[in-house]
């Protein structure tokens, strides 16, 4: 991370595994130095946007939790899959059957959900029961042209009590059962990164994505023409450094180190 960091005008930050580790009593634990790193970015004049695949809560609720953990963050700074999915549903006249976390449902408040003609799957956590998955499956298999919209396609994430399966695993289950290909809204979809960049008003070559997911964060941002840095926090695993397809532009131990290095180049 040297010459190319000098051209930077905006940063995109993943949240879970970069700002904090989710799970447990208070909803999570901040990663040391991350709250101060966010403040330093804001003080530096760099544009900043949070780009998350979080779908276990509305953005309002999610941001409130992060504020409680000491982060300077507002709803208007967050790009998340549910609002993007709502735009897509409206554009195409789709009425979803929702297989999502209870706390995400309010994001779909003004979407017609009667007589569903598609399934939207998010990180439903405890709602990923056998009964609920069967119900979503039956809706899909009963459609003449099954449409499956997935809010991200992460394989797993880390909570304070261990690794948990993410929406991507359940997306694959439904894809296989119904012989369909899901449309992914959220990282690593190109359109999702592009909307985050547009909201910042920054071109891809002027932006750096910082995340813990080698495929969704790093691979997705690079596909979009951005530089991408992987932090060695959150779901990072040493085997990521031998990933057959994706190679980050740089590794850092954590967000604080990434921000230090970037700001020192400016």
Shortest distance (Å) from residue 155 CB to a copy of itself:
5
In this chain, which of 95, 138, 198, 201 binds a copy of itself, going by CB under 8 A?
138
Going by C-beta distance under 8 Å and a sequence separation of 6 or more, which residues neighbour residue 152? 53, 55, 81, 122, 123, 166, 167, 168, 184, 185, 186, 187, 216
CA distances from 194 to 88, 190, 205, 256 (A): 15, 6, 12, 25
Structure tokens at 55: 């779908």
Interface with a copy of itself in residues 104-133 (CB under 8 A): 125-130, 133
Closer Cβ to a copy of itself, 57 or 252, answer by number: 57
Contact code string over 142-181 relative to a copy of itself, x by CB under 8 A: -------------xx-----xxxxx-xxx-xxxxxxxx--
Nearer to a copy of itself by Cβ, of 43 and 131: the residue is 131
| Long-range contacts, 233-239 (Cβ 8 Å, 24+) | 233/17, 233/18, 233/21, 233/31, 234/14, 234/16, 234/17, 234/18, 234/21, 234/31, 234/157, 234/158, 235/17, 235/156, 235/157, 235/158, 235/163, 236/17, 236/212
Asked if residue 71 binds a copy of itself (CB under 8 A), the reply is no
The CA angle 203-204-210, to the nearest 5 degrees, is 125
Least Å distance between CB 187 and a copy of itself? 16
Choice from 134, 181, 253, 265 touching a copy of itself (CB under 8 A)? 134
Instruction: Kindly tell me which of 127 and 195 has the beta carbon lying closer to a copy of itself.
Output: 127
Q: Residue 129 CB, nearest distance to a copy of itself (Å)?
A: 6
Minimum distance, C-beta of residue 105 to a copy of itself, in the bound complex (Å): 18
Number of residues that bind a copy of itself (CB under 8 A): 29
Smallest distance, a copy of itself to C-beta of residue 171, A: 8
Query: Rounded distance, CA 264 to CA 237, Å?
Result: 27
Closest CA relative to residue 188, chosen from 208, 213, 156: 213
Residues making contact with a copy of itself (CB under 8 A): 125-130, 133-134, 137-138, 141, 155-156, 162-166, 168-170, 172-179
């Amino acid at each position: 991370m040297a010459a190319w960091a000098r051209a930077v005008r905006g940063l995109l930050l993943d949240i879970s595994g970069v700002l904090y580790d989710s799970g447990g009593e208070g909803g999570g634990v901040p990663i040391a130095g991350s709250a101060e790193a966010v403040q330093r970015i804001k003080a530096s004049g760099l544009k900043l946007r949070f780009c998350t695949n979080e779908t276990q809560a509305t953005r309002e609720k999610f941001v409130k939790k992060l504020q409680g953990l000491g982060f300077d963050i507002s709803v208007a700074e967050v790009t998340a899959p549910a609002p993007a999915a709502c735009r897509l549903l409206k554009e195409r006249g789709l009425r979803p059957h929702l297989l999502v976390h209870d706390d995400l449902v309010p994001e779909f408040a003004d979407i017609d959900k009667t007589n569903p003609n598609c399934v939207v799957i998010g990180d439903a956590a405890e709602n990923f029961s056998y009964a609920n998955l069967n119900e979503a499956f039956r809706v899909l298999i009963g459609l003449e042209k099954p449409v499956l919209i997935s809010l991200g396609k992460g394989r797993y994430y880390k909570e304070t009590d261990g690794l948990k399966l993410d929406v991507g695993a359940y997306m694959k289950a439904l894809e296989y059962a119904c012989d369909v290909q899901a449309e992914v809204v959220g990282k690593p979809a190109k359109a999702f990164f592009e909307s985050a960049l547009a909201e910042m008003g920054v071109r891809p070559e002027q932006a750096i994505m910082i995340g813990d997911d080698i495929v969704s964060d790093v691979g997705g941002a690079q596909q979009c023409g951005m530089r991408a840095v992987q932090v060695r926090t959150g779901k990072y695993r040493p085997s990521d450094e031998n990933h057959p397809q994706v190679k980050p532009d740089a590794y850092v131990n954590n967000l604080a180190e990434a921000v230090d290095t970037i700001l020192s180049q400016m």
